[in-house]
Amino acid sequence: MKSMNVKLIVLTLTLFVGNLYGTAPATPNDGEESGVAASRLVEVTNSEVPIKEATIIFKSGKVIEIAFASIEGGKEALLGMEYFPKILPIAAKYGGKMLGSFQVTAVTGGEIQPQIVAIFEWPNLAARDQLLADEEAKKLFPIRDEVLTFFKQAYYTIPEDVTVTFREDKTYEFFNAWLTPDAETLLPEYFRQSEAPKQKYGPPKFLANLKPIKDAPKEDNVLQPHMSGIVEWNNTNTYFGLIADPDFKKAAPLLEKSLTRIDMLHTKFNFPPQK
């Protein structure tokens, strides 16, 4: 897809960050209630350039939906003008809200190549099903289906509340992994052996451990990984530097033997326009 279309996709999603599903952008004081705090400018140490940040609270006891999608070029306005304004009030009745969205900047592994990643929160899976069964919502789904050229989603819980701050100068990896029977013994050893070389490349920071829901809907568009999470990198070049590092290559076979598949997407957070 042409770069201009990608920019339009990002703009479309950005306009709805913080108020998708009828939730207004939060302030730093009410972020606990709304899930996502308002983006804000902060001063970076030893720099005069202000860096934007946004904070998301992933809450235990909630269902976290992550959607992976691409939009057909030229139909971004249809999504923004015909779908979102009508679906949001309906979805809000069932407690769903958007926590944030991201532009995919690199696909570093796996079987999917979406353009955007979006995070939603639901009270439970039943609330999500209520939206799907809503008669007014059903009338709108054909618009969504016409616009999207690719769509997958996955559902997770998180063991305890985690607050994650996303920065505009960092890159965020979303990964879904499918494990082999040997992963239980091999993965801990992989993490041990790879720790030292990782220190030379950032190091990458593991921000959130997302636990895939075992009883997630068995639908064609729903991914069913065994392990998922969000990792912060300085940039994608540090990732490629790590996997080319001779010391990391010694640990890499342990990871390869632990996985049957891993999808890895590098992204940038979509910040709402500053007022």
Q: Which pLDDT does position 27 carry in this prediction?
A: 33
CB atoms near residue 251 (< 10 Å): 19
Burial readout 94-121 (b: 16 or more C-beta within 10 A, e: otherwise): bbbbbbbbbbbbbebbeeeebbbbbbbb
Q: Do residues 150 and 36 touch, judged by C-beta distance below 8 A?
A: no
Cβ pair 263, 230 in contact under 8 A: no
Question: Which is more confidently placed, 20 or 210?
Answer: 210
Average pLDDT of the chain is 85
Q: pTM of this prediction?
A: 0.83
CA–CA distance, 66 with 271 (Å, rounded to integer): 17
**What percent of the chain clears pLDDT 90, i.e. is strictly above it?**
72
Rounded Cα distance between 64 and 26, Å, is 18
Render pLDDT for 243-264 as a digit per residue (tens, 0 to 9): 999 999 999 999 999 999 999 9
Distance CA 200, CA 54 (A): 27
Q: Say what the pLDDT of residue 46 is.
A: 53
pLDDT tens readout for residues 42-75: 444 555 778 999 999 999 999 999 999 999 988 8
Question: What pLDDT band is residue 274 in, cutting at 50, 70 and 90?
Answer: low
Q: pLDDT tens digits for 94-130?
A: 999 889 999 999 999 999 999 999 999 999 999 999 9
Per-domain residue ranges of the chain: 3-269
CATH code linked to domain 3-269 = 3.30.70.100
Distance CA 42, CA 187 (A): 37
Residue with the bigger pLDDT between 124 and 34: it is 124
Does pLDDT of 234 surpass 80? yes
Q: How far apart are CA 39 and CA 272, in angstroms?
A: 7
pLDDT tens for 5-26 read 444 443 434 333 333 322 323 3
Q: How confident is the model at residue 132 (pLDDT cuts 50, 70, 90)?
A: very high
